[in-house]
């Protein structure tokens, strides 16, 4: 967020004061308003990219019935993020893992579909979309029993990147899974384009959306599918 400890303390004090003046309990929105007021605005072109990226994740997560979308936020100054949940009854089948890969690749698919070019926002860090998707596809090939070659072998490794650098055939199989997930995510977004664009527009304008606001748009879209 780019805020110091003193900034955060001041934001909380101001939020409490605002709540007292309104004779009510302090709400999350009070904190969010304070944080937003202490940050420089995100440029419009980046806001649109973040909005499409996070809306893509949300639409695909919902379409594949992975669980609830708890909230979306693009007002961080360092990219957006999504808060998603997963159904407790989900089974660890091949289909479930393929759905997870599709959801992880959906942000990149969204950028590619609408903006015609992707940013580095999907990668760059160990907790990025591409990093998580690569680890998952690697595990599908090596440890989860879904490998296209020798699926019964359990071959864990602490550094998948090192293995992929050495084993070009394995790297090709992992990459093929990622490409398939990317294509599938793009197909879902094309089928649900009105919902996808409506959610991105709402997120661009609000910058932060809670579960209820997101679900309203997603469920309205279900009626049109």
- pLDDT tens column, 94-108: 999 999 999 999 999
Q: Number of folded domains in the chain?
A: 2
**In this structure, are 139 and 88 located in the same domain?**
yes
State the Rg of the chain over Cα: 20
**Nearest-5° angle of CA 59, CA 116, CA 219?**
15
**In this structure, are 18 and 60 located in the same domain?**
no
Instruction: Specify the pairing of strand 81-84 against strand 69-73.
Output: antiparallel
Say what the pLDDT of residue 12 is: 81
Say what the pLDDT of residue 63 is: 98
Q: Determine the structural domain holding residue 144 and report its residue range.
A: 44-223
Identify the active-site residue in 14, 29, 32, 54.
54
- The two tokens of residue 7 are 């900034």
- Please choose, from the candidates 131, 120, 124, the residue with its C-alpha nearest in 3D space to the C-alpha of residue 159: 131
**In this structure, are 31 and 53 located in the same domain?**
no
**In this structure, are 17 and 82 located in the same domain?**
no
Is 179 a catalytic site residue? Answer: no
**In this structure, are 32 and 48 located in the same domain?**
no
CB contact at 8 A, 78 and 40: no
Task: Count CA atoms closer than 13 A to 106's CA, side-chain side.
Answer: 29
What is the pLDDT tens value at each position of the chain, 225 positions in all?
455 667 677 778 878 888 888 888 888 777 777 766 656 677 889 999 999 999 999 999 999 999 999 999 887 666 788 889 999 888 899 999 999 999 999 999 999 999 999 998 888 888 899 999 999 999 999 999 999 999 999 999 999 999 999 999 999 999 999 999 999 999 999 999 999 999 999 999 988 889 999 999 999 877 776
- Please choose, from the candidates 84, 52, 95, 118, the residue with its C-alpha nearest in 3D space to the C-alpha of residue 184: 95
- Please choose, from the candidates 105, 122, 114, 117, the residue with its C-alpha nearest in 3D space to the C-alpha of residue 198: 114
**In this structure, are 30 and 57 located in the same domain?**
no
**In this structure, are 162 and 198 located in the same domain?**
yes
**In this structure, are 143 and 67 located in the same domain?**
yes
**In this structure, are 22 and 111 located in the same domain?**
no
Say what the pLDDT of residue 1 is: 45
- The two tokens of residue 3 are 């805020």
């Amino acid at each position: 967020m780019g805020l110091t400890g003193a900034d955060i303390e001041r934001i909380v004090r101001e939020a409490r004061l605002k709540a007292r003046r309104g004779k009510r309990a302090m709400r999350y929105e009070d904190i969010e308003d304070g944080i937003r007021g202490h940050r420089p605005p995100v440029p419009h072109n980046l806001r649109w990219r973040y909005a499409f990226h996070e809306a893509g994740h949300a639409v695909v997560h919902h379409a594949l019935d992975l669980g609830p979308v708890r909230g979306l936020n693009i007002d961080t100054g360092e990219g957006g993020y999504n808060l998603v949940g997963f159904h407790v009854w989900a089974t660890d089948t091949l289909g479930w893992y393929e759905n997870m890969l599709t959801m992880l690749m959906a942000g990149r698919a969204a950028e590619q579909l609408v903006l015609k070019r992707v940013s580095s926002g999907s990668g760059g860090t160990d907790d990025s979309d591409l990093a998580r998707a690569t680890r998952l596809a690697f595990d599908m090939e090596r440890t989860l029993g879904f490998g296209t070659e020798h699926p019964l072998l359990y071959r864990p490794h602490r550094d998948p990147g090192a293995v992929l650098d050495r084993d070009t055939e394995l790297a090709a199989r992992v990459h093929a899974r990622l490409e398939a997930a990317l294509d599938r995510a793009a197909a879902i977004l094309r089928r649900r384009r009105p919902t996808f664009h409506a959610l991105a527009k709402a997120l661009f304008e609000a910058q932060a959306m809670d579960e209820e606001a997101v679900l309203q748009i997603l469920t309205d879209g279900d009626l049109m599918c």
